[in-house]
Structure 1
Amino acid sequence: MADSVKIFNEYSNRDLEQRKVWYTPVVEAYDRGRPRYPEALIQRAIEAAHLSPNSTILEVGCGSGIATINFAQLGCAIDAVEPNRDFCQVAARRLAAFPKVQLFQESFEEWQVQPQAYEIVLAANAWHWISSGIKYVKASQTLREDGSLVLLWNLTLEPSHEVHQVLNQIYQAYAPAIAPEYEGREKQAEIAAGLGKPVGDSGLFEPPSTEIFPCEQTYSVDRYLDYLSSGSQYVALESQVRVNLFSGLRTAIKQQFKGEIHLFNLAAFQIARKI
């Protein structure tokens, strides 16, 4: 668990200008491949945060608006901060029908704090990208006295252990350095819990409560490769290595699993009251 959380948190230490454009080559694949949040998770997050059509939300790192739209449909007023221009363009298309949503193309690090302006600061699979020395201070400053930090997570999509072993042979042949370790349900639950620990350690928020939702879905080979290509370790791969790896994975999935793959992961939400 500690190693996984450390890896997650290392993203926030990357150069800010690099973080702004990290996903630019794979924005469309990211939007196609990343799993959506289960309806039950969204409803529980809405209930736990006491959200209503009158609520005000600051979303940090909205990406392509995958989570944003769930809260926009409730009628909340949302200011969504996203530094990547291409993500902003996709999010603008997705959210065009919601006039109470405003998109700001800038990083949270550079965003000008609006003191006590929001009921909720929301981050969906984005909080680990924000500089650790800044995010809790800024979140606290912009929240009302009774406000909360809400974090949504979709952990790694995994096939069964048997399928994982088959695909691992492809990784060992083409990209052994990024061959994924099999996590399973128990470890993913530990990872989800560990991701909330820095929130309470900040001294600005209460220790968060965490709720976990098991998810299962079937991906076509194309969507699965879109999902993989949006992962940071794949973005960083040398291009020919990535081509060879994905070609091998595509062939294996088509020949041995009829062109689709059944996947499991845990989704989670965490809510922490401002102190």
Structure 2
Amino acid sequence: MEREPYAGLATTFDTVAELYERVRPRYPAALFDDLALSAGPAPGARVLEIGAGTGQATRGLLERGWSVVALEPGRELAAVARRVLAGRGDVEVVVSPFEAWEPRDREPFDLVLAATSWHWLDQRTAFSRAADLLRPGGSLAIVATEHVAPPDGDDFFRVVERVYDEVGMGDGKGGPVPPEEVPAPDVAAMAGSGRFGQPIVHRYVTSREHTAEEYLALLSTYSGHIAATPQQRATLFAGIRELIAARPRGTVRKHELNLLQVARRTR
């Protein structure tokens, strides 16, 4: 069964909008360099961003001089985005799911971007709707984000799996995999939609070191952790805090992979 757009776990982020803005990482600058090269929009180009959150990717778009319409279905997230993006460039933040939004004019976009939001959309219509909003030759860019474990990565994330298992939140995967083992999830679907050419794929691995409290704050913005029962969350966070406190530096280093997939609309 297809997921209904902006329902269930997709709505959880709006309950932690201020924390989301404070702790969620930004996207690497190289991603926007490659986006400009792959998609080719010039300064002043029109961009439609899907699921903007509080503007984690929007900042990079505006720094390129692009004009952005940022769709965000969460009212609280959109309110924070309007505040933090004010004065940064030509941006309009609209409270709406992608599936329900109707543009005020018929002027097409040069680029449609979904940064870590595409998987929440109605996959039955997402590609065709994005294509319809683009000019001929315009581009669709999808960013997927995955927690990964490079060879020199932190083994904390393997050890902590037992705590997740104990509270019934384990996923059975045994921890994150190396970045090279993560497939680009939307390549086949983009090319197979009949509306886009073969995507170009770029990969970026970044890392951040967190204290226990910083890491728990980050986890508090993840949909599965927000939706957990208070007892699950309290037990899980206590276990994580204890494991980190026992480490020599009292920190963990988390690696993330950003996958950028860009394809041009076919004529």
Q: How does 1:79-228 map to 2 (within 5 A)?
A: 79-113=69-103, 115=106, 117-156=108-147, 160=153, 162-178=155-171, 181-185=174-178, 188-228=179-219
Cα offset for 1:263?
1.7
CA distance in 2, matches of 1:33, 1:105: 22
CA distance in 1, matches of 2:222, 2:113: 21
In the other structure, the counterpart of 1:27 is 17
TM-score, normalized by length of structure 2?
0.89
In the other structure, the counterpart of 1:4 is none
Cα offset for 1:106?
0.7
Percent sequence identity over matched residues? 28
Contact 1:171 1:179 (C-alpha < 8 Å) held by counterparts? no
* 1:234-270 C-alpha deviation (Å, 9 max, x unpaired): 1221122111101210121122253311121211211
Cα offset for 1:181?
3.4
Unaligned runs of 5+ in 2: none
For 2:177, give the aligned amino acid.
G
1:65 has 2:58 as partner = no
CA RMSD of aligned residues (A): 2.3
* 1:201-223 C-alpha deviation (Å, 9 max, x unpaired): 21111121101112222122222
CA distance in 1, matches of 2:18, 2:212: 16
Larger mean CA deviation between 90-99 and 161-170 belongs to 161-170
TM-score, normalized by length of structure 1?
0.86
Cα offset for 1:120?
0.3
* 1:138-163 C-alpha deviation (Å, 9 max, x unpaired): 11111001100011232125593632
In the other structure, the counterpart of 2:39 is 49
CA distance in 2, matches of 1:161, 1:140: 41
* 1:155-203 C-alpha deviation (Å, 9 max, x unpaired): 1255936322321232233334446632322xx4443423322111211
1:75 has 2:65 as partner = yes
CA distance in 2, matches of 1:170, 1:18: 25
For 1:170, give the aligned amino acid.
V
Unaligned runs of 5+ in 1: 1-9
Change (3 A) 1:22 1:176: closer
Contact 1:178 1:233 (C-alpha < 8 Å) held by counterparts? no
CA distance in 2, matches of 1:24, 1:201: 33
Secondary structure of the 1:22 match is helix
Contact 2:144 2:258 (C-alpha < 8 Å) held by counterparts? yes
Change (3 A) 1:254 1:127: same
* 1:74-102 C-alpha deviation (Å, 9 max, x unpaired): 21110111110011011111210135100
Secondary structure of the 2:182 match is helix
Cα offset for 1:34?
2.5
Secondary structure of the 1:156 match is strand
